[in-house]
A = this chain, B = another copy of it.
Amino acid sequence: MFAVRNARNFCNKLSTMKDQIPFSSDFIFRQLFDTTSSTYTYLLADTDTREAVLIDPVFEHAERDFQLCKDLNLKLKYAMNTHMHADHITGTGFLKKLTNCKSLISKASGADADIHVDESDAVTFGRHKLQIFATPGHTNGCITYYSTEQGIAFTGDTLLIRGCGRTDFQEGNSETLYHSVHKKIFTLPPATKLYPAHDYKGLTSTTVDEEKRLNPRLTKNLQEFVKIMDNLNLPYPKMIDKAVPANKVCGVFELSPQ
């Protein structure tokens, strides 16, 4: 009986470890949503210095995001993207007009920005740090932002909740995406909370553990995964011809969508 109870306690402990890493008390986190493109934007900040970053801001919501920074008494340091999006125009250019922030994107994205980053670089705001992993496959320039301390990663379109980004346009490559997920994201601690750039079913986050167990595509082997991606037969992305040229220049205000 004692052995059973011990085993149960051990399992409970394991399960607890797998479930949650609480945010530190000096870390501000807000998830924001654009219903048109189902894009998630993330506002992160340091409570002491009030420095903030926005991940994947959307053009139409730049003023909302700016207002939220003002409301929370935050100084926007970076408006940064996980990649050069094809489904919405980024808010970075507009946010640069509204604030003193710098735009930031990966070198491999091919997009203009004040700051270009790459694997092994890090983004800091206050005492907080986001490491950068190159996670290409949806596009060449896709990156994942990761905070070890908070146990969170922002996976862009590389890994979605029970899904992944398309690999049939821009420089999409299924094999590359598969390796990015398996070598970079799935090797993070199981409890790591994953925040994607999109969700189309109203889910807001997932974990490494969940996706390793339940992702219907990425639990398959490489050959099966490539076959699935080759046979998705998705329609031509309706915003791509407007969004990609705009996002190449950080969605500057002059290129406002009509």
Report the count of interface residues on A (CB-CB < 8 A): 38
A131 close to B (CB within 8 Å): no
A61 cross-chain contacts in B, Cβ below 8 A = 201-202
Cβ-closest chain B residue relative to A20? B25
Q: Which residues of B contact A204 (CB under 8 A)?
A: 30-33, 204
Which residues of chain B are within 8 angstroms of A15 by Cβ–Cβ distance? 47-48, 50, 73
Contacts of A73 in B (CB 8 A): 15
B residues near A28, Cβ cutoff 8 Å = 19-20
> Any chain B CB within 8 A of the CB of A87?
no
Residues of B contacting A201 in the complex (Cβ-Cβ under 8 angstroms): 61, 64
Q: Which chain B residue has the least Cβ–Cβ distance from A28?
A: B19
- B30–A25 CB distance below 8 A: no
Q: A15-B47, A30-B205 are in contact. List 14 more A-B contacts (CB 8 A).
A: A12-B47, A16-B25, A16-B47, A19-B28, A19-B47, A20-B23, A20-B25, A21-B25, A22-B24, A31-B31, A35-B35, A35-B38, A64-B203, A72-B210
Give A contacts to B, CB under 8 Å: 12, 15-16, 19-28, 30-35, 38, 41, 47-48, 50, 61, 64, 68, 71-73, 201-205, 210, 213-214
